[in-house]
Structure 1
């Protein structure tokens, strides 16, 4: 086997796994000039806002929100005390409630304050830990002392393990704080106030990955409990799924709390609306080149055919995650071929390799679509719109990236390019 070539594709596979870019060294190595406009818009809105204002950020899954929000957090540091965290790193997504979000905010603030050696009142620390094992007072006292012995710097890890591994701990938390959610807000506010006094900077918390929640959870959190969720007296950036913006009740709840409209990270457009289905239409070079740059930073030029790279970009539909998925699938296929044909020394990512990658992702989409959603997909493709954008079928397609939302002067929709292949194979399109 060509071990040197195998290592090239193994490294490329690993590099595609680096999105979202969170660590400074990864950002430095792989960042491209992508998403600058929505980042600047969010910065200006936050800087011009009141100190207790809340913000909601949305966009298709995998469009680059996490990388952008991390970059945004870094750029806001000179004027703010910033805290960035992913809710998915603390709590199982299916088990998230508004109480757990508020608790996560308080814990993350406490952790950040401790790292900066900012004094926080002992009663706050005790209450953020003391709910554990409350059913047995003696056991509680013993465990609480033990937990404080870990040091506040290990609090985040301790709480995360409790929430992720112990169903009993999650149930106990909900029982204890079911009628004490206001206390969680008070703890967060007191920690934020201590930080602001010590640093002379307003607090800004950015919560990532709330946009990956299933829609019933989004409705429960953002529609039914929005007022208490937005009650902390410092700036917070939340995320929501783009499909939730199709729900008038969710949007109404956000509007009632001062969110005029969610900040949007739009899908990149490779074609103008009028050209998107014309075979002879030329794609927008500026957008295509940004996506090509992502490939260049991960795959050596000698290992990918330029025409194949161009087609890989177009097949992504303008969603960065889809480009990453295609890149990883291509690398996997190359690694497989090198083992099946050990003497090959000229293997590159070409159209044949890309076709296998597209086939694999097409089958992934087919499993989600079944048969009932094909009429909706066909209608969206033919009209670039949908008659009932808040229908369950359309929202499911939007949430699953089978339908993509684009915008310029008009809001319009199109079918993911790989899903278009499915429609053609079903005989629904010429």
Structure 2
């Protein structure tokens, strides 16, 4: 009985639909023929690879259908084709999927993009945005912030505090949104500038 239970438990967890498979995992099964979907590398990846303009794709499906597994395959393919991919599951650390707004997603994107590039650029774009929000953020985070001395890693920490409050403290969620909402346009502009700065260094590293 014990051995049967152990086997069934192992089998059950081997097919856990909420644990995405990393790219190249031998347990991956291509279900395209029966699921009817196009291969993500063709349907989404080719548009990203070939397009001269910025693209935006929505990849949707039922919970547990394998979206994250497919996105990890796409990440690997794009990495191998010279792209720098920032992949993150926002609902794991940054947002409450039962109560989410655009502001929450923008803050999550900011934190994760800063994290991905923290060792690759010293861009001041997002830091300058933080400086303009300094006093409000001090009250919000209930901590002293020496903005002029914030490294990118320290900036990540500040955004992590904000997204943690959004995710775990419903009472603070509205306060944060009310504070950030009027400044989402300028944060988006700052983040895009940060990405452009990081991209320049990334391309220099490739060509050198």
- Identify whether the pair has TM-score above 0.5, normalized to the shorter chain: yes
Output the CA distance in 2 between the equivalents of 1:3 and 1:141: 52
Offset from partner CA, 1:332-380 (integer Å, 9 cap, x none): xxxxxxxxxxxxxxxxxxxxxxxxxxxxxxxxxxxxxxxxxxxxxxxxx
Q: Which residue of 2 aligns with 1:176?
A: 179
Q: Deviations over 1:377-397 (max 9, x none)?
A: xxxxxxxxxxxxxxxxxxxxx
Contact 2:78 2:85 in 1 (8 A): yes
Q: Give how far 1:159 is off.
A: 4.0
Unaligned segments of structure 2, at least 5 residues: 33-37
Structure 1 residues 30 and 39, CA, compared in 2 at 3 Å: closer, same or farther? same
Aligned mates of 2:156, 2:198 — CA distance in 1 = 16
Call closer, same or farther: CA 1:103–1:154 in 2, change over 3 Å.
closer
Q: Secondary structure of the equivalent of 1:85?
A: coil
Q: Structure 1 stretches of 5 or more lacking a match?
A: 202-430
Which protein is bigger by CA-based radius of gyration? 1
Match of 1:194 in 2: 197
Q: How many residues align?
A: 194
- Between the aligned partners of 1:134 and 1:45, the Cα distance in structure 2 is 41
Aligned to 1:143: 144
Give me the whole-angstrom Cα distance separating, in 1, the residues matched to 2:167 and 2:199: 31
Report which structure shows greater RCO (CA 8 Å, sep ≥6).
Answer: 1
Work out the CA distance in 1 between the residues paired with 2:74 and 2:193: 25
Alignment of 1:33 with 2:30, yes or no, is: yes
Q: Distance in 1 between matches of 2:6 and 2:141?
A: 52
- Quote the residue 1:10 is aligned against: 9
Alignment match, 1:370: none
- Cα distance change on mapping 1:61 and 1:165 into 2, 3 Å: closer
1:159-170 equivalence runs, <5 A: 159-170=162-173
Give matches, 1:227-242, under 5 Å.
none
- Secondary structure of 2:3's counterpart equals helix
**Offset, 1:52:** 2.0
CA contact (8 A) 2:90 2:108 kept: yes
1:103 to 2:107 alignment: yes
Of 59, 62, 67, 2:61 maps to 59
Higher strand share: 1
Closer, same or farther: CA 11–57 of 1 in aligned 2, 3 Å: same
| Number of the residue aligned with 1:124 | 126
* Counterparts in 2 of 1:172 and 1:133: CA distance versus 1, 3 Å: farther
Using the size of structure 1 for normalisation, the TM-score is: 0.39
CA contact (8 A) 1:118 1:195 kept: yes
What does residue 229 of structure 1 align with?
Answer: none
- Higher normalized helix content (fraction of residues): 2
Q: Which residue of 2 aligns with 1:88?
A: 91
TM-score where L is the length of structure 2: 0.75
Partner Cα separation in structure 2 for residue 72 and residue 158 of structure 1: 30
Instruction: Please report how far the alpha carbon of residue 131 of structure 1 lies from its aligned counterpart in structure 2 after TM superposition.
Output: 5.1
Deviations 1:282-340 (A, max 9, x none): xxxxxxxxxxxxxxxxxxxxxxxxxxxxxxxxxxxxxxxxxxxxxxxxxxxxxxxxxxx
What's the RMSD between the two structures over aligned residues? 3.3
Cα deviation per residue 1:164-183 (whole Å; 9 max; x = unaligned)? 21224322221112221211
Cα distance change of structure 1 residues 84 and 11 upon mapping to structure 2, 3 Å threshold: same
In 2, Cα distance between equivalents of 1:166 and 1:130: 25
Please give the alpha-carbon distance, in whole angstroms, between the structure 2 residues aligned to 1:188 and 1:118: 13
| Residues in 1 aligned to 2:27 and 2:18: alpha-carbon distance in whole angstroms | 9
